[in-house]
């Protein structure tokens, strides 16, 4: 039952219902605090599986859960759908869509957004951070095959069947592997004029190896697995030029209508809102208890925060860290509400995983290093375990089983373009990502 905010309880506002914010909200259930969760979307998104939406393996609804529904049993929490644009630190108010939300304690958990490193490539290179971006990329990939099927010009056909993924971190590796499987397995008997297996998938990474946060041995295994799937990996040179018909990698030119950005992120503008010190990626430098220096009642967690681990290096920007930090701040606030002190945050490294196609993944958990099918089994169990909601877990598991047994991809809907636009499809393919339309699919 809904409980109106009380006079006596401290007001905690959580901005962002991602991994960090949602964990904090859940952990504060039953605490003598009035919690308000503010998010620009009405759903919590499981970003690690976005690439599967972008490559037609899963539907958007499989990896997103309505925030209200996730928090429906948490009586002391109310949810506001609004985009935060500033924080009035002096008046202790969050500014969101023209309204002001007062707080005694504030948790900022707004995550990260794309960074295109000072270039204007954002117009050309869609990245993968949101449901809209994932369905947009899916449309681009599926349209590229459809257009190639009826394209009379051989050069343009080639351009349509070339796919470039920029960035060899986990997201880029997963995207490239998954596009290769679409072309080489799922689509093989579906087209008549083209052979989807002739598609070329190029993964570009400026560093000398893929997946630089992993052990070099696993990076090499990932490179080999991608090679077996038909992905061409370019290492040691970044993209130097980019336009609507392709990219240059140093002196090499690759003509392509579909270029996907997986090369960099920066923090959301929390540091700007707070006037707080930050690093080059915009992450707010936080105290050992995750509070903002000089503001013991304001915390920044997850991808928006810069926290140094015991080794003096920033703790990684991943879902596990965001969840640990959300849990920590919740406990700290409960301790404070009882006038108790609480020790500083201690990061526990959980390891890292990345999938390479339908039945291979690399896993690094302390000294344990796995690749291939054993890695994929650990990867899938971890993804299912971390997903929110029984429905999502069941559907995702069933989809994977279906995909595994049949090699099919069921979510091959092209949305956002309809009948009268068909003649304009080539232009749709070139449409800048800033002109996303709402997709009406599930």
CB of 181 to ligand FAD, least distance (A): 17
Cβ atoms 404, 358 nearer than 8 A: yes
Window of 39-47, 176-184, 276-284, 360-368 that interacts with ligand FAD by CB under 6 A = 39-47
Does 57 sit near ligand FAD (CB under 6 A)? no
Sole binder of ligand FAD in the list 94, 109, 164, 370 (CB under 6 A):
109
Sole binder of ligand FAD in the list 13, 21, 136, 258 (CB under 6 A):
21
Does 19 sit near ligand FAD (CB under 6 A)? yes
Per-residue burial over 66-103, b = 16 or more CB atoms within 10 Å of its CB, e = otherwise = ebeebbeebebbbbbebebeebebeebbbbbeeeebeb
Whose CB is nearest to ligand FAD? Answer: 18
Q: List Cβ neighbours of 107 (8 Å cut-off, separation of 6 or more).
A: 12, 13, 14, 15, 20, 21, 24, 299, 300, 301, 326, 329
CB of 197 to ligand FAD, least distance (A): 26
Window of 44-52, 208-216, 225-233, 243-251 that interacts with ligand FAD by CB under 6 A = 44-52
Give the span between the Cα atoms of 149 and 245, in whole angstroms. Answer: 18
Give the span between the Cα atoms of 349 and 366, in whole angstroms. Answer: 8
Give the span between the Cα atoms of 127 and 134, in whole angstroms. Answer: 8
Cα–Cα nearest to 263, from 200, 205, 304: 205
DSSP state of 365: E
Copy the structure tokens of residue 128: 């993968």
Catalytic machinery residues: 174
Nearer to ligand FAD, 148 or 361 (CB): 361
Window of 184-192, 209-217, 311-319, 392-400 that interacts with ligand FAD by CB under 6 A = 311-319
- Which residues ranging from 245 to 274 are in contact with ligand FAD (CB under 6 A)? 268
Q: List Cβ neighbours of 48 (8 Å cut-off, separation of 6 or more).
A: 319, 383, 386
Backbone angles phi, psi at 23, to 5 degrees: -60, -45
Nearer to ligand FAD, 67 or 429 (CB): 67
CB of 62 to ligand FAD, least distance (A): 15
Nearer to ligand FAD, 183 or 319 (CB): 319
Binding-residue total with ligand FAD (CB under 6 A): 33
Window of 117-125, 205-213, 242-250, 313-321 that interacts with ligand FAD by CB under 6 A = 313-321
Does 300 sit near ligand FAD (CB under 6 A)? no
Cα–Cα nearest to 217, from 375, 373, 369, 379: 369
Sole binder of ligand FAD in the list 126, 172, 320, 416 (CB under 6 A):
320
- Cα angle 94, 98, 100 (rounded to 5 degrees) comes to 30
Binding residues for ligand FAD (CB under 6 A): 15-21, 38-41, 47-48, 50-51, 83-84, 109-111, 128-129, 170-171, 268, 302-304, 317-320, 322
């Amino acid at each position: 039952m809904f409980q109106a905010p009380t006079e006596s309880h401290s007001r905690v506002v959580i901005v962002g219902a991602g991994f960090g914010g949602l964990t904090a909200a859940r952990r504060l259930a039953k605490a003598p605090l009035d919690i308000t969760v503010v998010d620009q979307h009405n759903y919590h998104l499981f970003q690690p599986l976005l690439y599967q939406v972008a490559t037609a393996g899963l539907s958007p609804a499989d990896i997103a859960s309505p925030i209200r529904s996730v928090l429906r049993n948490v009586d002391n929490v109310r949810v506001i759908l609004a985009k935060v644009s500033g924080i009035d630190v002096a008046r202790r108010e969050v500014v969101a869509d023209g309204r002001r939300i007062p707080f005694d304690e504030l948790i900022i958990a707004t995550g990260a957004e794309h960074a295109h490193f000072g270039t204007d490539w954002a117009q050309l290179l869609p990245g993968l951070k949101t449901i809209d971006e994932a369905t947009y990329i899916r449309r681009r990939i599926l349209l590229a095959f459809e257009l190639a099927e009826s394209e009379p010009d051989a050069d343009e056909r080639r351009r349509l069947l070339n796919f470039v993924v920029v960035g060899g971190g986990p997201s880029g590796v997963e995207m490239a592997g998954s596009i290769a499987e679409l072309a080489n397995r799922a689509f093989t008997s579906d087209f008549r004029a083209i052979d989807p297996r002739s598609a070329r998938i190029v993964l570009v990474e400026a560093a000398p190896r893929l997946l630089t946060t992993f052990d070099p041995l696993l990076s090499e295994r990932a490179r080999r697995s991608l090679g077996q799937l038909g992905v061409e990996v370019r290492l040691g040179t970044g993209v130097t030029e980019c336009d609507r018909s392709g990219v240059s990698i140093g002196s090499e030119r690759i003509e392509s209508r579909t270029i996907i950005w997986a090369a960099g992120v920066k923090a959301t503008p929390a540091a700007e809102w707070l006037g707080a010190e930050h690093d080059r990626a915009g992450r707010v430098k936080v105290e050992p208890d995750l509070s903002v220096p000089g503001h013991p009642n304001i915390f920044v967690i997850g991808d928006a925060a810069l926290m140094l681990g015991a080794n003096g290096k920033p703790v990684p920007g991943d879902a596990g860290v965001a969840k640990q930090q959300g849990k920590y701040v919740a406990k700290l606030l409960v301790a404070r509400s009882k006038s108790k002190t609480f020790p500083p945050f201690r990061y526990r490294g959980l390891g890292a995983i990345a999938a390479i196609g339908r039945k291979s993944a690399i896993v690094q958990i302390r000294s344990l290093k796995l690749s291939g099918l054993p890695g994929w089994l650990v990867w899938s169990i971890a993804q299912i375990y971390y997903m929110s909601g029984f429905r999502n877990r069941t559907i995702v598991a069933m989809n994977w089983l279906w995909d595994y047994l049949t090699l099919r991809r069921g979510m091959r809907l092209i949305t956002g373009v309809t009948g009268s636009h068909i003649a304009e499809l080539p232009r749709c393919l070139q449409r800048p990502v800033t002109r996303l339309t709402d997709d009406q699919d599930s």
